[in-house]
Structure 1
Amino acid sequence: MKFFFMHLMPYADLDLTYSEKYDSAWVTLPNSYYDPKKGAALYNRYLDELEYADEVGFDGVCVNEHHSNAYGLMPIPGVIAGALARRTKRAKIAVLGRALPLLNNPLTVAEEYAMLDNITGGRLIAGFVRGIGAEYHSWGSNPAISHERFHEAHDLILRSWTETGPFPFEGKHYHFNYVNVWPRVYQQPHPPIWIPSQGSRETIEWASDASRRYTYLQTFSPVAALKKYMEMYKEQAERNGYTATPQQLGWSVPTYVAETDEQAYREAKPHIETMVNKFLRMRPEMLLPPGYSSVESMKGMLLAKKAVASTSGGKTIDELIKSGIFLCGSAATVRDQILHYQKEIGFGTFISLMQFGTLPHELTLKSTRTFAQHVIPALRDVGEPAAETAAA
């Protein structure tokens, strides 16, 4: 199994009384709540945490893209990835991901990723997403055409990496006389591509196509939803004529480890509850605007989102642990939880959100170190093909 350290970079200094006046930390929360001096300190603190994950033995670090919110301060994840490119030495850098439908020129992502791939000597993992519904409100983009823009942008980027330029590209949404990306990507034919999702059937069917076989990541979901969508991916792969490997299936989940179960519960409780009840607070129409998904996919994502957070708040750590949305406990407890779910579901990539909400720096580092020292080594060979295990 491969282990990645995910960071959202929340604005941890948020005045939590905001919810007395505003119903969401997304899109409509005035940016007067952001103090640049505090934000500057947070950016540098969070970069330290990502670099520390590389030092203690995580296989990779992950950054992502969100706009106009207090939940994640990475509207341009390439900036953070660029800062990490020279400061990390071993870990993969996964950008999970760029929201392709929001872009007027997807070749900027092709260029950005190619630069990162060269600087790191081939440590880049390229993530592509449609972006959650809130991003379409922030950018004034039409969610009803997000699927077709995503697919067309993806095809353009892949061709720019794998075909010799210059060549013309004429699509419905993007038109170029000269596609000729400099620099070329370091990894040939292109960096590995990962597709995060909250459970869109359309995304699963597309990612599992035999011509792609992209790694699919399930994010912020109860274990029941995780199992459902992982099975959906595997079944779709069989229909496409191949068997999905554990490495094509990834689980992203907030995780906290301490000396004992009781201590982990006590230390994590205020911060995970703040995350789901304050930072993730969002109206359903912001999350899933009309036209963003099919009715079937929308029902599934709404159920998953409802289990994580509600518009009125009030989710407890006990509910989150019970549903598997949050892993919390001693190293032995968390290790056993991951092993149990892996045997039941079959994922081979585990992405831990080690900092969440208002969790302070010292506790983040302690949990990260404990996880790296006492969880990762015991699960390293789980979910690996026999040949790889023997070679290791």
Structure 2
Amino acid sequence: MKIFNFHLMPYAHADLDAIKRLGTSWMTYPNSYYDPRKGADLYHEYLDQLEFADELGFDGVAVNEHHQTAYGMMPTPGVLAGALARRIKNGKLAILGRALPLVNNPLVIAEEFAILDNLTRGNFIAGFVRGIGVEYHTMGMNPAESQARFAEAHDLIIQAWTRPGPFAFEGKYYKFKYVNPWPRPYQDPHPPIFTPSSGSLSTIRWSAQRRYTYCQTLAPIAAVAQTFKLYREEAEKAGYQATPDQLAWSNAIYVAESDEKALRDVRPHLEAYANEFLTRNPTMMAPPGYTSVESIKRMRAIKGFMGQRSTAEDMIARGIVIVGSPNTVREKLAAYQDMAGFGISLTKTQFGTMPHKMVQENQIAIAREVLPYFKDRLPQPVKAAAE
């Protein structure tokens, strides 16, 4: 298994009471609650944490994109990835991912990612997403065009990376007389592509058809297993067998000396993450036309835990997060890998309000007590229960 340190970079100083009153930390949570001095300190702490993860031996570090929210302070993840590109020496650097339909010119993403691929000398992973529904409100984009714009932007970027330029591109949404980006990607033909998703059927199918690595965002492990099963079925329809490295699960892990201490230490930060930072207005999450009714039903079933207040015990019991002693964490991660068949763990070591020192202690514990046990581990067949 490959274990990446995935960071959301939340505004850890958010006013949780204000979020409770407003009912969301997204879009309508006023930016007057953001203190630039505290925010600047957080950016440096978070970059330090990702650089530390690379030193500790994580297989990669990852950032992502969200807009107008305290949940994640990375509206332009390429800026943070650029700050990391010359410091990440051992593992991969991933952006998971850039929201293709939210830009008017996808060529800037082709250029941005090509630069990062060159700076890392081919240790870069490109993530493509559509962006969650609320971000179509924040960016003033028509959600009904989301899937079509995503597909066309993807095709344009891939052509920009693989076709000799200059050439013309004539699409419905993007039209260019000259496509000739400099630099070209370092990797041939282009960086690996990951596609994070909340469980949309169309994204699962689209990713499997292109043999891209599918990343399931935070969800109960039973739902993750079902999603990955769908991916493998779609891969078979496309004429191949999916490998574990094509399946990545986004999770959160916290390790302490005992299960009791781990739960006690992590509870306030985990519950703030689940109940305040994740809180979004349901009417904003799936605007009309954003995705199919079938996919909406499926994503709501997967993310049902977000519609109610969750305790740390709830999230642990449902396999949304892994918390406990080294032995407990190892046992659960192995069992979940076997159940769902994934080969990549996108692990958050910081979440919610967790302070810097606590994060680094968690990173050290994971590096010492978890990483060595999973270095070459593949999913094992799950034995049927005795009748």
Q: How much is the aligned-residue C-alpha RMSD, in angstroms?
A: 1.1
The 1-side partners of 2:302 and 2:207 are apart by: 20
Partners of 1:24 and 1:317 in 2: CA distance: 20
Query: Helix, strand or coil for the counterpart of 1:87?
Result: coil
Distance 1:251 1:237 in 2: 18
Shift of 1:304: 2.0
- Residue number in structure 2 paired with 1:367: 362
Moved more, 269-278 or 281-290: 281-290
Task: Decide which of 322, 325, 335 is 1:327's aligned counterpart.
Answer: 322
> d(CA) in 1 for partners of 2:362 and 2:240?
38
Q: CA deviation at 1:314?
A: 2.4
Partner of 1:88: 88
SS of equivalent residue, structure 1 residue 94: strand
Question: In the TM superposition, what whole-angstrom CA distance separates every residue of 1:296-353 from its partner, at most 9, and x where no partner exists?
Answer: 110111122221x22xx52101110111111101111111111111112210001101
Matched with 1:40 is: 40
Quick check: 1:135 aligned with 2:135? Answer: yes
The CA distance in 2 between the partners of 1:18 and 1:171, in whole Å, is 44
CA distance in structure 2 between the partners assigned to 1:314 and 1:251 by the alignment: 23
User: SS of the residue aligned with 2:127?
Assistant: strand
Aligned equivalents of 2:19, 2:227: Cα separation in 1: 33
Tell me how far 1:379 sits from its aligned partner. 1.2
Residues 45-81 of structure 1, C-alpha deviations (whole Å, 9 max, x = no match): 1000010000000010000000000000000000000
| One-letter amino acid of the counterpart of residue 63, structure 2 | V
Alignment match, 1:63: 63
Which of 320, 340, 344 is the aligned partner of 1:345?
A: 340
- The Cα of 1:20 is off from its aligned counterpart by 4.9
Which residue does the alignment assign to 1:283? 281
- Name the counterpart of 2:253: 255
Amino acid at match of 1:224: A
Query: Which residue matches 1:390?
Result: none
Residues 202-217 of structure 1: matches in 2 within 5 Å? Answer: 202-209=202-209, 212-217=210-215
Residue 5 of structure 1 aligns to a residue in which SS?
Answer: strand
Indicate the residue corresponding to 1:274 in structure 2: 272
Secondary structure, aligned partner of 1:74 = coil
- Paired with 2:228 and 2:75, the residues of 1 have a C-alpha distance of 29
Give structure 1 regions of 4+ aligned residues with deviation exceeding 3 angstroms. none
SS class of match (2:184): coil
Q: Distance in 1 between matches of 2:227 and 2:16?
A: 34
Deviation larger for 177-186 or 327-336:
327-336
Instruction: Report the equivalent of 2:310.
Output: 315
Q: Distance in 2 between matches of 1:195 and 1:5?
A: 17
> Kindly tell me: are residues 40 and 230 of structure 1, through their superposed partners in 2, closer, same or farther at Cα, counting changes over 3 Å?
same
Which of 291, 294, 319 does residue 292 from structure 2 map onto? Answer: 294
Structure 2: how far apart are the matches of 1:78 and 1:316?
A: 34
Pairing of 1:117-266 with structure 2 (within 5 A) = 117-209=117-209, 212-266=210-264
1:376 aligns with 2:371: yes
Shift of residue 384, structure 1, vs aligned partner: 7.9
Q: Distance in 2 between matches of 1:182 and 1:289?
A: 37
Percent identity between matched residues is: 56
Whether the 8 Å CA contact 1:220–1:304 is kept in 2: the answer is no
User: In the alignment, which residue of structure 2 is the partner of 1:98?
Assistant: 98
What do residues 237-269 of structure 1 show as CA deviations (whole Å, max 9, x unaligned)? 111110000000010101111111111111110
Query: Can you list the C-alpha shifts for 1:170-228, whole angstroms capped at 9, x where unaligned?
Result: 0010000000010000000000000001100000110001xx20000101111121011
Question: Partners of 1:255 and 1:288 in 2: how far apart?
Answer: 29
State the partner residue of 1:388: none
- Helix, strand or coil at the partner of 2:372: helix
Amino acid across the alignment from 2:273: M
2:40 counterpart letter in structure 1: A
Q: Which residue of 2 aligns with 1:2?
A: 2
Secondary structure of 2:86 counterpart: helix
Q: 1:355 aligns with which of 347, 350, 358?
A: 350
Cα deviation, residue 19, structure 1: 3.0
Number of the residue aligned with 1:336:
331
- TM-score normalised per structure 2: 0.97
Residues in 2 aligned to 1:384 and 1:89: alpha-carbon distance in whole angstroms: 28
Q: Which runs of 5+ in 1 are unaligned?
A: 386-392
**Residues 53 and 61 of structure 1 are in contact (CA less than 8 Å); yes or no, is this contact kept in structure 2?**
yes
- Amino acid of the structure 2 residue aligned with 1:232: L
Q: CA deviation at 1:287?
A: 1.4
Q: 1:57 to 1:42 in 2, by over 3 A?
A: same
Q: Distance in 2 between matches of 1:302 and 1:92?
A: 32
In structure 2, the gaps of 5 or more residues are 381-387
SS of 1:208's equivalent in the other structure is helix
d(CA) in 2 for partners of 1:175, 1:116: 25
Distance 1:84 1:102 in 2: 24
Partners of 1:20 and 1:270 in 2: CA distance: 15
Q: Alignment length, in residue pairs?
A: 380
Amino acid at match of 1:314: R
